[in-house]
Amino acid sequence: MTKPIPRPVASPQLTIGEPLQFPADDNAVEGPIVVSIACSPEDDSTAVPLAAASALDAASGGVLATWLADGNASGKAGEICMAALPTKDGSVATVVMVGIGDVDELTRDSLFRHGSAVIRQLASQPRSKIVVAMGLDVPSKFHDALVAGCLFGCEGQAIYRQNPSTHVGDAIEFSGVSAEMLTRGQTIGQSINLTRRLVNEPPSIMNPTEFANRSVAMASEVGLGSEVWDETRLADERCEAILAVGRGSASPPCLLKLQHAGGGDDQPPVVIVGKGVTFDSGGLSLKPSEGMVDMKCDMAGAATVVGVMHAIAKLGVGLNVIGLCGLAENMVSGDSYKLGDVIQTRSGKTIEILNTDAEGRVVLADTLDVAVEQAPAAIVDLATLTGACMVALGNETAGLMTNDESLCNELTDAAKAEGEPVWELPMFKLFDDKVHSKVADIKNVGEGRWGGAITAAKFLENFVAEVPWLHIDIAGPAFADSPKPDRDAGATGVMVRTLIRWIENQAN
Ligand code: BES
Ligand code: MN
Ligand code: ZN
């Protein structure tokens, strides 16, 4: 089979620019200039602070200020307006002004999204260079979020379009941003885009082996340790649950381990675990087409782990962190695992299969057991695990389920700081017997559909022993049906920012 060739992951050159001087005779700014402006709370439109735009205003002989004073831009959050600016030297500059609203209400997430939205807007035509001038009133601790957002806006799902309708600039120059914040923002943006690319690739390309190969290549680039357990090793390691789910597929399953040794030898690691079902047909409990159409996204948990490990290595976080991905394709064949099958998992616990479409928890059973073996300080798993979580929380909020409230609070705080919506679901004891089986230790579905996100988590809880553990169900927010001004449809890279922050907090 000849494989289509994807576009490379968007990687415009990012540089730091001089403080905005426009136009300087010898180095006139080329390309559109993006300027963030803020509105004061008691805004009377004549008082829009021009921040970084003041140099432009001077260069235009006051035209910009007059134009703004006429009420053409309010500076309210999310407003993007473009203006053609005549300059003293007779040329015309394109200026794009992004409203960031009241600076006191500015968040990392809003700045991230403003950056993405403006880059997406400018992608309507090819541009060699875009200059982004940071508003003077934007706190510098947020600057990395704008840089990351600008990179995020460059990547989308049209990776196999021969004539893409959007164009990524070759270079973005940031003025008013420190080198440190530029590098940090770039790392975060690249990591999110890495996650998104892994998810957006078609499932026949991104099978377990390809996922592992790309991750191992990335690991050696950034200095992470890596290990892949193939089918033979999985059998030696008694990972019968991963093997069972993968058995119906022509692409063999595997387990991927990525390791960042940023802490001391005796420091217990943090382990992040991802569900990596590279395509979920449902198996013999076959999904209808409408339910299957986006199921290449069922490895988003694993892709999040890879993106986060990439960031942790590049940021040099001072903590031991291990990433584990259980990778399998859930397919239909004469050798598929069956309803009524009983599997002995790596932990020794037996599970009765009553629905082959509840495969994620089966893969995670063995993967979590490998995590426990690392004697970790905490385990966080990410999984596109249940449609029920989407029914409960919608498609923009991740569900949190835990055996350790303080761990859950830590992650919630990190998510708040990054502006990624999360919500905890209860893990009451009364749910425990919903996964009891008549023939094995537990069964892989609850009783009926009710509380489906929680019964899935209750199943997982069986495999984490006494380790503080948090389960994040990202079935809703991992993959978007439709585009928004600040992001394309397809993979969203949700939770990469939150996990980076949570892990960095652990190191401090
Ligand atoms: N991968 C799906 C969950 C999913 C659904 C993710 C929609 C993203 C979007 C998972 O493997 C699944 O099929 N879960 C079943 C569980 C059921 C059979 C107990 C579900 O949610 O219907
Ligand atoms: Mn499924
Ligand atoms: Zn699944």
Q: What is the Å distance from ligand 1's center to 345 Cα?
A: 21
CB 188 within 8 A of CB 313: no
Phi, psi of 470 (to 5 degrees): -130, 130
Residue nearest to atom 16 of ligand 1 (CA): 358
Distance CA 399, CA 362 (A): 19
Q: Please state, as a whole number, how many other Cβ atoms lie within 10 Å of the Cβ of residue 86.
A: 14
pLDDT above 50 (res 181):
yes
The secondary structure element, H or E, covering residue 392 is: helix 387-393
Structure tokens at 500: 């980076």
Q: What is the Å distance from ligand 1's center to 363 Cα?
A: 13
Helix (H, G, I), strand (E, B) or coil at 311: helix
Q: What is the Å distance from ligand 2's center to 446 Cα?
A: 14
Distance CA 125, CA 387 (A): 38
Q: What is the pLDDT of residue 45?
A: 34
Q: What is the pLDDT of residue 167?
A: 82
pLDDT above 80 (res 419):
yes
Tens digits of residue pLDDT in 267-295: 999 999 999 999 999 999 999 999 999 99
Q: Is 434 an active-site residue? A: no
pLDDT over 70 percentage in the chain: 91
Q: What is the pLDDT of residue 54?
A: 67
Ligand with an atom nearest the CA of residue 445: 1
Residue nearest to atom 13 of ligand 1 (CA): 357
- 17 to each of 141, 151, 446, how far by Cα in Å? 18, 17, 57
Q: What is the Å distance from ligand 3's center to 207 Cα?
A: 14
- 114 to each of 41, 146, 170, how far by Cα in Å? 19, 7, 20
When the pLDDT of each residue in the chain is averaged and rounded to a whole number, the result is 91
Residue nearest to atom 22 of ligand 1 (CA): 387
Task: Name the residue of 295, 297, 354, 385 whose CB sits within 8 Å of the most ligand 1 atoms, as the mutation to test its pocket.
Answer: 385
Closest ligand 1 atom to 387 CA: 21
**263 secondary structure, DSSP code:** S
- 343 to each of 113, 246, 356, how far by Cα in Å? 45, 13, 12
Distance CA 206, CA 156 (A): 17
- 232 to each of 15, 254, 364, how far by Cα in Å? 47, 9, 19
Task: Name the residue of 199, 304, 331, 386 whose CB sits within 8 Å of the most ligand 1 atoms, as the mutation to test its pocket.
Answer: 386
Q: Does residue 448 or residue 53 have the better pLDDT?
A: 448
- The one-letter amino acid at 233: R
Closest ligand 1 atom to 446 CA: 19
Q: What is the pLDDT of residue 33?
A: 65
Handedness of CA 434, 296, 211, 304 (dihedral sign): negative
Q: Is 197 an active-site residue? A: no
Q: What is the pLDDT of residue 41?
A: 34
Structure tokens at 419: 């502006």
Distance CA 309, CA 226 (A): 11
| Strand partners of residue 261 | 320
Distance CA 324, CA 411 (A): 19
Across 130-135, average pLDDT? 81
Alpha carbon 62 to its chain centroid, in Å, reads: 43
Count Cα atoms within 13 angstroms, Cβ side, for 259. 13
pLDDT band, residue 62 (cuts 50/70/90): confident
What DSSP string describes 183-215? HHHHHHHHHHHHHHHHHHS-TTTS-HHHHHHHH
Tens digits of residue pLDDT in 205-261: 999 999 999 999 999 999 999 999 999 999 999 999 999 999 999 999 999 999 999
Q: What is the pLDDT of residue 39?
A: 41
Q: What is the pLDDT of residue 31?
A: 54
Q: What is the pLDDT of residue 65?
A: 77
Query: What is the b/e burial string over 110-131, where b = at least 16 CB atoms within 10 angstroms of the residue's CB?
Result: bbbbbbbbbbbbbbeeebebbb
Q: What is the pLDDT of residue 138?
A: 83
Q: What is the pLDDT of residue 44?
A: 37
Q: What is the pLDDT of residue 8?
A: 86
Q: What is the Å distance from ligand 3's center to 135 Cα?
A: 44
What does DSSP say about strands 270-280 and 378-383: parallel, antiparallel, or unpaired?
parallel
The secondary structure element, H or E, covering residue 222 is: helix 208-222
Closest ligand 1 atom to 444 CA: 19
Q: What is the pLDDT of residue 238?
A: 98
Looking at 29-33, 113-117, 235-239, 489-493, which range is the least confident one?
29-33
CB 324 within 8 A of CB 224: no
| Strand partners of residue 383 | 473
The secondary structure element, H or E, covering residue 17 is: strand 13-17
Across 82-87, average pLDDT? 77
The secondary structure element, H or E, covering residue 370 is: helix 360-372
Distance CA 432, CA 458 (A): 6
Ligand with an atom nearest the CA of residue 449: 1
Tens digits of residue pLDDT in 2-12: 888 998 888 88
Q: What is the Å distance from ligand 3's center to 109 Cα?
A: 29
pLDDT above 70 (res 175):
yes
Distance CA 465, CA 160 (A): 44
Distance CA 254, CA 229 (A): 5
Residue nearest to atom 9 of ligand 1 (CA): 475
Peptide bond connecting 23 to the previous residue in cis, omega within 30 degrees of 0: yes
pLDDT over 90 percentage in the chain: 72
Task: Name the residue of 281, 286, 356, 357 whose CB sits within 8 Å of the most ligand 1 atoms, as the mutation to test its pocket.
Answer: 357
Q: Say which of 7, 287, 349, 416 is annotated catalytic.
A: 287
Q: Say which of 184, 314, 361, 443 is annotated catalytic.
A: 361
pLDDT above 90 (res 342):
yes
Q: What is the Å distance from ligand 2's center to 354 Cα?
A: 12
Residue located via tokens 């530029």: 182
The pTM is what? Answer: 0.94
CB 322 within 8 A of CB 381: no
Tens digits of residue pLDDT in 14-51: 988 776 554 444 444 455 666 655 443 333 333 334 44
Ligand with an atom nearest the CA of residue 277: 3
Q: Report residues whose beta carbon is within 6 angstroms of any ligand 1 atom.
A: 280, 298, 355, 357-360, 384-388, 445, 452, 475
Cβ neighbors of 162 (< 8 A, separation 6 or more) are none
pLDDT above 90 (res 127):
no
Q: Kindly provide the residue ranges of all beta strands, DSSP E only, lying in 253-319, ordered along the sequence.
A: 254-261, 270-280
Looking at 23-37, 167-181, 404-418, which range is the least confident one?
23-37
Residues within 5 Å of ion ligand 2, judged at the Cβ atom: 280, 357, 359
